[in-house]
Amino acid sequence: MLNPHSFGLFIIAALVLLLIPGPAVLYITTRSIDQGRMAGLASVFGIELGNLILAVIAAAGLSAILASSVVAFNIVKYLGAAYLIYLGIKRLLSNDGHAPTVVQRKPLSHIFIQGTCVAVLNPKTALFFLAFLPQFTDVLRGGIWQQSLLLGLTFVGLAICTDSMYALLASTAGNWLRQKGVFQGGQRYVSGGIYLTLGLVCACSGFRKN
């Protein structure tokens, strides 16, 4: 199955990425501030259910690509590394940060369903999984489906923890977290640099000749 060293690196990389506030975190914190802790947690589990669906789809897709050709799978890994580099450059060059998220008060069931739909229908999330997961798999260890699925489940599990932390913090801290200065400033340099570094590392060392 997974290489323990690669799995450890995956957990570190995933945590670093998840701890940087993005659009999903802004949505979750806004829900938490506007409607309280339960609304924030409902949005967390809705979004992560959507992410779980995308992770399963990505794992199946990567398995199908490997079944077709090992070369094709490595091409997908190269393209994934290039996509991560693109995300980093794009984030570094952006100067407007994330726009404030405005939401309407809704029942908890609607918030959960809305979060799931937002995640599932976001093509950028699907692309991210296809780009990120292959970097930590090893075709020589077999079972790409199992490796990718385990990585996806781990990512979603970590995301539930970090996003729940933001929801609880936002529901407690109130409108202070909503100020643009909390999430912007140097955040684009940090997140952009991490994406760029991750992509470059994957491009330079994440592939095997078969």
- What integer pLDDT is reported at residue 132 of this predicted model? 84
- What integer pLDDT is reported at residue 210 of this predicted model? 35
- What integer pLDDT is reported at residue 195 of this predicted model? 56
Domain residue ranges of the chain, discontinuous segments joined by +: 4-205
- C-alpha closest to that of 135 among 114, 115, 155: 155
Q: What is the pTM of this model?
A: 0.73
The Cα–Cα gap between 69 and 71 comes to 5
Number of Cβ within a 10 Å radius of residue 180: 11
Q: What is the chain's pLDDT, residue by residue, as a tens digit (210 residues)?
A: 677 888 898 999 889 888 877 777 777 877 887 788 899 899 999 999 999 998 998 888 877 776 677 777 777 777 767 776 876 787 677 765 444 445 567 788 988 998 888 788 776 777 788 888 888 887 777 788 888 899 999 999 999 999 999 899 888 876 565 554 444 555 566 556 655 765 676 566 544 433
For residue 40 the two structure tokens come to 């924030």
- What integer pLDDT is reported at residue 154 of this predicted model? 95
- C-alpha closest to that of 88 among 27, 16, 30, 158: 16
- C-alpha closest to that of 23 among 176, 92, 125, 156: 125
